[in-house]
Structure 1
Amino acid sequence: MNPPTIVIVGGGAGGLALATQLGRTLGKPERANIVLLDRDTTHVWKPLLHELATGVLNSSMDEVDYRGHSSAHHYRYQRGSLSGIDREAKRLRLAPIVDEEGIEVFPARELSYDYLVMALGSVSNDFGTPGVAEHCHFIDSPQQARGFQRDMINTFLRYTDPSMRQHTQLTIGIVGGGATGVELAAELLDASRMLNAYGVTAVDHQQISVHLLEAAPRLLPGLSERISQTVQQELEKMGVTIHVDTAVKEAHASRLITGDDETIETDLNVWAAGIKAPPFLAELGLSTNKKNQIKVAKTLQSIDDPTIFALGDCAECPQGEDSSVPPRAQAAHQQAKRLAKNLVNLLEDKPLTDFRYRDRGSLVSLARYDAVGSLMRSSASRGLFLEGWLARRAYASLYRMHQLSIHGAPKTALAWLVDKLNRYLKPRMKLH
């Protein structure tokens, strides 16, 4: 009898961690065929995309190649993009893959499964706001982050020539005061200093204006008020202009229009307000919510099909009576760990156990200047508030924990050593 096939769709933080764990427990002893499906060939940890967008992160050093990783961790990688599911036949329909010139690289094909895990993450939610899709950058993928960096550098270069300036200051508008918007605002100011120091542009950071707009009454509405206030104070010290209680109703190439009809003239726009699961998930025949998230039970099984699971940002997993697990990287990692055990239990005819989310706290990076957050939160405690050097070290450790989950201790230690050496050998910023 052939071993069952477990297909994981999406190689993000949760999907890659799950494939690694299942490869070790089921793939290596050949108890199951583990397949990771992703449209990209490499993985970049999503919380680092704001650093990739500003050039602080060198993706060639921090990308994980799925082919090489799969060979070392006993699972198979398939490049593809999901277009449909035949649940009765247990087959996935994969869309053709084309290159930048529109030439077909992989034809449309099908992939069979016994158990399916959806780990497709999330994308920005523009809420149908006019002009956003055409005139704002999104930073949901490495491709989008690199596209923003190219546009950012070109904008800085154009501003150096007085005849090409649109405004008296180079102005960047960021819509969304969540973690992505806050961290990007700080990184942009740091990037402007480095671009000037490396001689890429004559624009000084004092000639740059960053506007951060948030529709809620405060920044980081999902975190504690203390963290929100501290972050706002630090950003304002850096020179960021904060707009709270400010929704954006229109976006144009060179301006943002707020709900109060205020016009903010801009040279570059970024949309980081709200998230949703990829829209096509609502077309697969599974129950989803308004954000396209697949509705799952506490065992992470779809409420419609016990052979289909979902985790991370694309899943609505109940937590308590009237709430669901928040769409955060730590939740995806915890769910991957639980689901790895549940899939082993499933193959051994043992009962599945419910997922319980444990909030370990939250940390927000403000470039190399500062970090703010809390750790060791629980239902009975607000946790330990951190800022400054200690918070920066704690924030850096989050990425090392992700590396541990997908590489193991020896390779993570080597990666840490290489990063330390590169800090002295290479520029802090990727300039091309």
Structure 2
Amino acid sequence: MNNALFTPVADRATCVPRIVIVGGGAGGLQLATRLGSTVGRKGLAEVVLVDRYPTHFWKPLLHEAASGHRDPASDTIEYAAQARQYGFHFVQGELQQVDRIQRLATLGAVLDADGVEILPQRVLPYDDLVLAVGSVTNFFGVPGASQFALPLENVEQAEDFRRKFLAACAKANHLAEQRPEQPVQPICINVIGAGATGVELAAALRHASNQLAAYRFKSLLPDRDVRIRLIEGSARILPALDERLATRAHAQLGQLHIEVLTGVRIAQVAHDSIATATGDRLASDITIWAAGVAGPAALREIGNLRLNASNQVIVTETLQTPDDPHIFAFGDCAACSSDGTSRVLPPRAQVAHQQAVYLSASFARRLAGKTIAGFTFHDAGTVVSLGHAGALFQRQLGVHRRSLIVDGLAASGLYKVLYRKHLLGLHGTKRTLLRSIGDWLRGWNEPSIKLH
């Protein structure tokens, strides 16, 4: 190939090293931005970001896109534009294979919506390869789950859910208009998994049903006609967080008329129902799976790297793979130990953010010939949004394993700050401020939910 981006390693002896980052999620895009604007702009390294999609959307906001509270088109970031602004290259494609000996990453062909090839399969040489490919839904082998339960991994899936939800509400509203004297068969939405994602989605859907009834579906009675179940296999919701926070969240979900089922294991998922391990059958018009994540299956096919039981790449304290010091992994796809223990850091945006900051500094030190310290995670706390019902915040104090818990307006403010912090790391202060003002103006002039 004539494009200098694909010059083989053997022919680049006098060139600067090439750092290839695969995955433009919360961590990958931030790492590319930081490295591009530092070592890239200084000519110390060539930074390349690879992603199968042309745009970025912050994954923690997917539940807002799924419920219609956020239009993804207003919050996506064009990788090509970000690359031009901050001194790195963008290549679209999906990682298929890694030749660790030759240091070659093979990218799959890019197809359009009709399956027509836009870009062919390509080979991208690298000096250092950083895997930031995120996670996928873990269905835990439950029969029918992968076929009939909707995951929530990207914008396309969020939009698919939103369209199904909107269509179900329109149908229920029509039946209520045609037969006002007869009770309407409720729309049954089952959210499997009551971690932060499941709780936030359930709360957002209740508010969405209320807003749709107020704006468009006048005959729809949300509390009666839209039945939302939140189903958790553990003894309580939010099992990874403080029990006091879980208790508060449970109570607030009850006030939102969301049915919470705990200690319930899913045995099977069908197109119109789910079956529990105890033999109960729950009707379901829409089932969404938020019960767990794992590393993408493609990680088993590339580079023969060591993986854990959750299909995550095992890494050292410097986020390098023990199999190859030229391959790094971080974020949801990496099994990084917590404080030197056997526990793995959870798949959270703040983990990926801190690891991106660490890697940008460690690459700069490595290029300067300096020593590299290991990564240390500092828990900044967890915020769980309950939509217009507020939010809950928890942070470990480190004193006798006690936690600080905040709710109400203060926690809601913290939740909004998280996304602004993400934008700040990508755009800087001025552009983030302008974007925030634009969001505020849209909020005054447009409905708080997508109505079509």
Q: What TM-score bracket applies, with the shorter chain setting the length?
A: over 0.9
Aligned residues: 432
- Partner Cα separation in structure 1 for residue 133 and residue 92 of structure 2: 14
Structure 1 residue 393 displacement after superposition: 0.3
Q: Quick one: which amino acid aligns to residue 181 of structure 1?
A: G
> Which amino acid letter does the alignment assign opposite residue 202 of structure 2?
A
1:262 and 2:262 correspond: no
C-alpha change, 1:378 and 1:121, in structure 2 (3 Å) is farther
Counterpart amino acid of 1:419?
D
Q: In the TM superposition, what are the counterparts of 1:219-238 in structure 2 within 5 Å?
A: 219-238=237-256
- The reply on whether 1:196 has 2:213 as its aligned counterpart is yes
Aligned counterparts, 1:163-182, within 5 A = 168-182=185-199
Distance 2:198 2:415 in 1: 17
Equivalent residues of 1:5, 1:115 under 8 A apart: yes
Q: Please give the secondary structure, in 2, of the residue aligned with 1:264.
A: strand
Amino acid corresponding to residue 250 of structure 1 in structure 2:
Q
TM-score by length of 1: 0.97
CA contact (8 A) 2:252 2:389 kept: no
Contact between 2:96 and 2:301, CA under 8 Å: does it hold in 1? no
C-alpha displacement of 1:395: 0.6
State the distance in 2 between where 1:376 and 1:293 align. Answer: 26
Correspondences of 1:133-144 after superposition (within 5 Å): 133-144=146-157
Residue 46 (str. 1) matches residue 59 (str. 2) = yes
Q: How far apart are 1:171 and its partner, in Å?
A: 1.0
Q: Per the alignment, in what secondary structure is the counterpart of residue 408 of structure 1?
A: helix
Contact kept? 2:242, 2:403, Cα under 8 Å: no
| Gap change, CA 1:166 and 1:338, over 3 Å in 2 | farther
Aligned match of 1:296: 315
Give the superposition deviation at 1:382: 3.1
Whether the 8 Å contact between 1:361 and 1:383 is mirrored in structure 2 is no
Identity of aligned residues (%): 37
Match of 1:156 in 2: 169
1:26 matched to 2:39? yes
TM-score (norm 2): 0.93
Aligned pair partner of 1:326 in 325, 342, 346: 346
1:27 Cα deviation from its structure 2 partner: 0.9
Question: How far off is 1:384 after superposition?
Answer: 2.6
What amino acid does structure 2 have at the position aligned with 1:242? V
What do the CA deviations read for 1:37-75 (whole angstroms, capped 9, x no partner)?
001111111000000011101112111111111110111
Larger Rg: 2
Q: 1:159 deviation in Å?
A: 2.1
Describe the shift of the 1:167–1:138 C-alpha distance in structure 2 as closer, same or farther (beyond 3 A).
farther
Mapped partners of 1:26, 1:209: distance in 2: 53
Q: 1:295 to 1:57 in 2, by over 3 A?
A: same
AA partner of residue 263 (structure 2)? D
For the pair 1:307 / 2:326, whether they are aligned, the reply is yes
**Counterpart secondary structure, 2:15:** coil
Q: 1:378 and 1:188 mapped to 2: Cα distance? A: 35
C-alpha distance in 1 between matches for 2:317 and 2:90: 28
CA contact (8 A) 2:216 2:451 kept: no
Displacement of 1:238 = 0.7
- Structure 1 stretches (4+) deviating beyond 4 angstroms? 163-167
Distance in structure 1 (CA, Å) of the matches to 2:116 and 2:410: 50
Offset of 1:385 from its aligned partner? 1.3
Contact 1:359 1:377 (8 Å CA) reproduced: no
> In the alignment, is residue 215 of structure 1 matched against residue 228 of structure 2?
no
CA distance in 2, matches of 1:339, 1:291: 23
Q: Which runs of 5+ in 1 are unaligned?
A: none
Q: Please, which of 171, 187, 207 is the counterpart of residue 204 of structure 2? A: 187
| Residue of structure 2 equivalent to 1:271 | 289
